[in-house]
Structure 1
Amino acid sequence: MDDLLVPPANFAMVDHGVFRSGFPQKCNFGFLKTLKLQSIVYLSTEPYPKSNLEFMQSNGIRLFRFAMEGSTKSSAEIHREIIEEALKVILDEQNYPLLIHCRSGKHRTGCVVGCIRKMQRWCLLSIVEEYRQFAGAKARNCDERFIEFFDVSNLKKSSQPAICFRNTFNFI
């Protein structure tokens, strides 16, 4: 049983070298090792557990923490700046392979991934469908509106690496 690989809840590949999930538990460490992660983008105000920090240190993984409150209220203006800063880290291929996560991998992670999909020029219907797939019955209208109105032009081209997600981005 020790060699059983268990992915974190809501785990999925976003793009080459970029993954998403809920909060990794100790039982997920073996699986995470197989990803050869360089970085973790953590979207929460909650402290990172000591066991996770030790796992990261022993595997040479950098932690980028963005203090996003979990909320059912529309707090788009507060999250907009934080999400833009997180996207700068996520778009930098020097940080790959990279895992994006919050507590459950649904709302905060879903908003960030939704913004990535906008940058990839996915149609809004597909972006919302993916968000709902991970959020399940707890999909939030405020998150969907945030994604819909997120302006990708706010991310200046000068802050982007020359190649993003293996050329899957077409910037406006």
Structure 2
Amino acid sequence: MKLKTIVSVTPDPLPLSFLTKLGSDLNYIHIAGEEEQKKSKKKKSIPINFEIVNHALAILNNSDMQPVFVHCLNGKQATSLIIACYRISHGWSLRSALAEYTRFSDYARPDIAFLENYHDCSRTGNFHL
């Protein structure tokens, strides 16, 4: 499988030296997900928001960018939340998306609430909570 795009949901972009080694045919998109925690005065356990999810989904849904590799700092929370939201946006039930999410991520109640809210917002189209 030849990747066309890497989506990096991390506080800092990958080092330029690393990206150079990957070649010029690869699209690299950095989405500063963990910045959400730094900006907030209160502790948040969710490192992303709907804006970040929708940005990532726009990339995942763009056939010119596929295949896409999504990663975050620990490879679980932000990536798993984005993929669960992708599943929901493609017609999976909340129950099915949560079942897959819980198999691949160490989840907590805020994660489940985030996905429940995303599911509800995806049905109404109102992502401005």
What range is the shorter-chain TM-score in? 0.7 to 0.9
Looking at structure 2, the residues matched to 106 and 147 of structure 1 have their Cα atoms a distance apart, in angstroms, of 15
Matches within 5 A, 1:8-157: 35-56=1-22, 58=23, 60-69=25-34, 73-75=44-46, 79-135=49-105, 138-150=106-118, 151-152=121-122, 154=125
Equivalent residues, number: 117
Where has structure 1 moved over 4 Å in runs of 4 or more? none
TM-score, normalised by the number of residues in structure 1: 0.60
Task: Give the TM-score, by structure 2 length.
Answer: 0.77
CA contact (8 A) 1:106 1:131 kept: no
Q: Is the 8 A contact 1:105 1:134 kept in 2?
A: no
The root-mean-square deviation of aligned C-alpha atoms, in Å, is 2.4
8 Å CA contact 2:3, 2:66 repeated in 1: yes
- Which runs of 5 or more structure 1 residues have no equivalent in the other structure? 1-34, 156-172
Q: CA, structure 1 residues 117+52, in 2 after alignment: closer, same or farther (shift >3 Å)?
A: same
Indicate how the Cα distance of structure 1 residues 144 and 55 shifts in structure 2: closer, same or farther if over 3 A, else same: farther
